Amino acid sequence: MSHMKRSQVTASTRYRGCCLSRAAAPLVLGALSLPISVFAAAAPDSSAARQQVLEEVIVTAQRREENLQETPISVSAFSVDALEQMGVHEAGQVAGYTPNLQINKPPGSYTNYGYSMRGLSSTDPSLLTEPTVGLYADGVYIARISGAAFELLDLERVEVLRGPQGTLYGRNTIGGAINVISKKPTEDFGLEARASVGNRDYQRLQARIDTGRHGDVAAKLSYSNWSKDGIVGNSQRDYDLGEVDESEALRLALRWTPTDTLWVDYVYDKLDNLSNGGLPQIVHARPFQVGLGGAIYAQMAAAASAQRVSALPQYFSYEPDTWSEIEGHALTAEWARENITLKSITSYREWDGGTTGNVYGSFPSDGMTVLDGMGGVVPEGQMVPIFLATRVSSQQQFTQELQIVGTALDDRLRYTAGVYYFEEQSEEDNPQTFVIPAVMAYGGLPQGTQSFLCQDPTFADPTACLGKDTILSSPVFNYGADNESVAVYGQFSYQFAPKWEATVGLRYTEDDKEAFLSQSGIIRNEGIDVVRAQESWSNLNPSFNLSYQATDRINTYATIATGYRSGGNNARATTSESFATPFDEENIISYELGMKSDWLEQRLRINAAVFHYVYDDKQVPQFVAGSSGASSIITNAGEQEATGFELELTALPLEGLLLQLAYGYLDIDINKFDTKPVDPVTGLPAGSENVDITAYAKAAHSPQNNGSAVVQYDLPPFSFGQLTLRADATYTDERFFNPVTNLYDSAGEQTLLNARITLSQIPLVNGTVRVAAWGKNLANKKYREWGIDFGALGYAIDSFQELRSYGLDLTYEF
């Protein structure tokens, strides 16, 4: 792993320039200013017939092109037209329309994802924690949930594969996988330009240019730039909170076809994002009556509201920036003959990002006196931070995959096999500052309170009477890792009878991880010097599938699949012992029955699946006792099993009328959830007896019901264009944010209403124009998206989904 150089990151690093070189926008826009007269193609026929049958959908879920209806796994596929009607710009935005999928952004971030598919969740942005859902961009694995919310430029489709994908996709896909497939450069010249505006000063510019094929080479350039204002005013700074200052993305795709059987694709993509994140807000605080912490918490308790999004004043003396820089290179070479295809996928990606944010900002003091070892007064009007956290992160990854895909025995045998290599380097600085009420702070007490608490026999820590006040505590975590993974896999499908096909697959994986951690300042802990840990895991993932083609339009299947999520070390450990003691891998075995079917002469499509899985060695975060919520470790706490059902229905009852229904049901049983109190001295689970808290445990980010409904109608074409009306609703049942839940760690039922009106195929010179008016969350609901109850720290925070938004899109396409 020596050919990658680790980026140096420090707590003082701050991103202030956004975004790509300012030359990028003029270059793209300049190309669009070419005289219209150079375009030679005729405008599309505006009298084109409306859709009368459901179209065939091609997917690559099994690493080969197949008809969705003949693919024997649970897959949702979204075409570029569907994504535009949904208003999707990121892969995570398809979650509302996908059964049993939740994708949310944690507090304080626009470019991080938290995944949960079929009740298997991964929400920790730590660089030492693996996801449960794999994200792939044109076949390239995106290793971290940090920086995963990138712009989708020039999409062809998005595929969501539900259930373990351990054979063809490998580790960290125990919940499933998401494939993002982009369009390739075309043979002919073309362009598309789109401008969007909306409320809260939303502005978006998108452009795409296809050069057409020149000799053996074709190119495509795509560009996007957008910004918006926030939803919460700030009395201390001249900006709103929750805004996106600027997000700029660029994608260059080149295709070289020297022969009819060989083609090489190169893709370069870049994203720069500067925002102040998904705003976390205090929704609950316990008032304390002692010292500086008590005074601030009393104000917090008075102001906290479980439904507050925009109305109350905010005091943010620190600008809560979130910034992200993502850059990627991918080279794919493919050689195809009649019955065999060889493919090589090589990629290098790097991500640098950070956040500087304070929970609910700061409160003005009233001249309170604090003992800081020398004595002192916080002047009246001075802003005192409640919680200030900075994360400065860097990650680089290199992947290489070789595939062979082919058929034999008169196409009765289909096979896919390959070898895969992955390496990664990452590092993060995570300094924090927060106010801890004196009745909990091990490190010190406000002036005048020592005698009261030091005489109290129930106050366990005698070091609290030593005189040094660290109520304004500043722990610092610095950690990183060098990871390497190697895998070999194969899958073989054999048609042993006219309507029957059996598939077997196997994948062997080896993971090697080297990690380091240095930490200081957790309450009275003097910290730890740099400690290093090295761990290895290996796993064998088999799968089996049996499919039966009942008729030309009905396909049924049964699947047994396995998956594995790699173990790791605790990035927020407070001692060298707890860091050096890893949490172990997770394993899953899943059973699924499914049906893909078309009815009524392809005017009705019904795809359904029922599944059951058993999930062992569940990785669970747990707060460290004595850290007052400032530190947590991950332990393998228990076992979980679930039974679920998924339904996707698409119908064309009348010409031009499209109806869609998606529904997911999930019934989760946590059979075992053992934990131990975490010793504040060693940072390890303490005592010999497990504490069974199964009765209190919940599956995080796993609603029992979720679904969506879509009504879309294409009116008969006019002489000047075609009008499309669309309305949709998404529903999410009650869900919990953490496995051991408190009152403020959950969200109730949520229903979002959206609508769109599009006038398309408007002839203009040699191209067409389409205009769309859209609205999202039309009822302006104030729904929680994510929350953390810090327990002993004394308060809980939530972040909220976007409020009502509306706007216009204007698109020209040639």
What residues contact residue 445 under an 8 Å CB cut-off, 6+ apart?
A: 290, 291, 371, 438, 453, 464, 465, 469, 471
Terminal Cα-to-Cα distance of the chain (whole angstroms): 46
Q: Coil, strand, or helix at residue 295?
A: helix
Name the pTM for this structure. 0.85
- The predicted pLDDT at position 365 comes to 41
User: What is the rounded CA–CA span in Å between residue 134 and residue 156?
Assistant: 19
Q: Please count the other Cβ atoms lying within 10 Å of the Cβ belonging to residue 460.
A: 9
- The residue ranges of DSSP E strands in 655-704, in sequence order, are 657-675, 691-692
Q: What is the mean pLDDT for each group of 10 consecutive residues in the chain (814 residues)? A: 40 39 42 36 45 88 93 94 90 90 78 87 86 93 82 88 95 94 94 95 95 96 91 60 81 96 97 76 61 53 53 46 90 95 97 74 40 36 58 93 96 97 93 52 37 36 34 66 97 97 98 88 54 93 97 97 93 80 92 97 97 91 54 79 97 95 96 66 54 78 96 93 97 88 80 97 93 96 80 70 93 94
Q: Is residue 13 part of a domain?
A: no
Nearest to 104 by CA among 118, 90, 84, 87: 90
- Two tokens at 141? 């694995």
Are the CB atoms for 159 and 181 separated by under 8 Å?
A: yes
**Exposed (0-12), middle (13-18) or buried (19+): which is 256, by Cβ within 10 Å?**
middle
Q: Name beta bridge partners: 269.
A: 251, 328
Q: Is residue 234 part of a domain?
A: yes
Provide the CATH number for the domain around residue 50.
Answer: 2.40.170.20
Are the CB atoms for 651 and 659 separated by under 8 Å?
A: yes
- 44: containing domain: 24-633+650-680+699-813
Maximum C-alpha span of the chain = 90
Q: Is residue 692 part of a domain?
A: no
Q: Name beta bridge partners: 810.
A: 195, 771
- The predicted pLDDT at position 241 comes to 64
Q: Is residue 769 part of a domain?
A: yes
Q: Is residue 661 part of a domain?
A: yes
- The predicted pLDDT at position 687 comes to 55
Q: Name residue, tokens 């008032």.
A: 287
User: What is the rounded CA–CA span in Å between residue 646 and residue 609?
Assistant: 5
Are the CB atoms for 560 and 590 separated by under 8 Å?
A: yes
Nearest to 199 by CA among 635, 808, 624: 808
- Two tokens at 450? 């020592």
Are the CB atoms for 34 and 212 separated by under 8 Å?
A: no
Number of residues that make up the chain = 814
Are the CB atoms for 811 and 192 separated by under 8 Å?
A: yes
Are the CB atoms for 181 and 138 separated by under 8 Å?
A: yes
Strands 657-675 and 691-692: antiparallel
Q: Name residue, tokens 């076992």.
A: 639
Q: Is residue 396 part of a domain?
A: yes
Residue 328 to residues 48, 487, 784, Cα–Cα distance (Å)? 40, 22, 33
Q: What is the DSSP string of 203-247?
A: EEEEEEEEEEEETTEEEEEEEEEEEE--SB--SSSSS-BT-EEEE
DSSP code for 26: H
Q: Please count the other Cβ atoms lying within 10 Å of the Cβ belonging to residue 1.
A: 14
- The predicted pLDDT at position 472 comes to 45
Please name the amino acid found at residue 769.
V
Torsion, Cα 254 25 246 392, to 10 degrees, reads 50
Q: Please count the other Cβ atoms lying within 10 Å of the Cβ belonging to residue 62.
A: 23
User: What is the rounded CA–CA span in Å between residue 710 and residue 728?
Assistant: 4
Nearest to 232 by CA among 305, 313, 302: 313
Q: Is residue 117 part of a domain?
A: yes
- The predicted pLDDT at position 157 comes to 92
What residues contact residue 236 under an 8 Å CB cut-off, 6+ apart?
A: 314, 315, 316, 317, 361, 383
Nearest to 178 by CA among 165, 198, 202, 160: 160
- Two tokens at 295? 């005074």
User: What is the rounded CA–CA span in Å between residue 662 and residue 173?
Assistant: 22
Domain count, the chain: 1
**Exposed (0-12), middle (13-18) or buried (19+): which is 150, by Cβ within 10 Å?**
buried
User: What does residue 699 show for φ and ψ, rounded to 5 degrees?
Assistant: -85, 120
Are the CB atoms for 123 and 133 separated by under 8 Å?
A: no
Q: Name beta bridge partners: 640.
A: 615, 670
| H-run or E-run covering 622 | strand 604-623
User: What does residue 82 show for φ and ψ, rounded to 5 degrees?
Assistant: -65, -40
Q: Coil, strand, or helix at residue 383?
A: strand
User: What is the rounded CA–CA span in Å between residue 288 and residue 446?
Assistant: 13
- The predicted pLDDT at position 435 comes to 54
Nearest to 320 by CA among 245, 225, 266, 213: 245
- The predicted pLDDT at position 321 comes to 73
Q: Please count the other Cβ atoms lying within 10 Å of the Cβ belonging to residue 566.
A: 20
Are the CB atoms for 571 and 127 separated by under 8 Å?
A: yes
Are the CB atoms for 638 and 619 separated by under 8 Å?
A: no
- The predicted pLDDT at position 28 comes to 40
Q: Is residue 19 part of a domain?
A: no
Nearest to 534 by CA among 504, 502, 511: 511
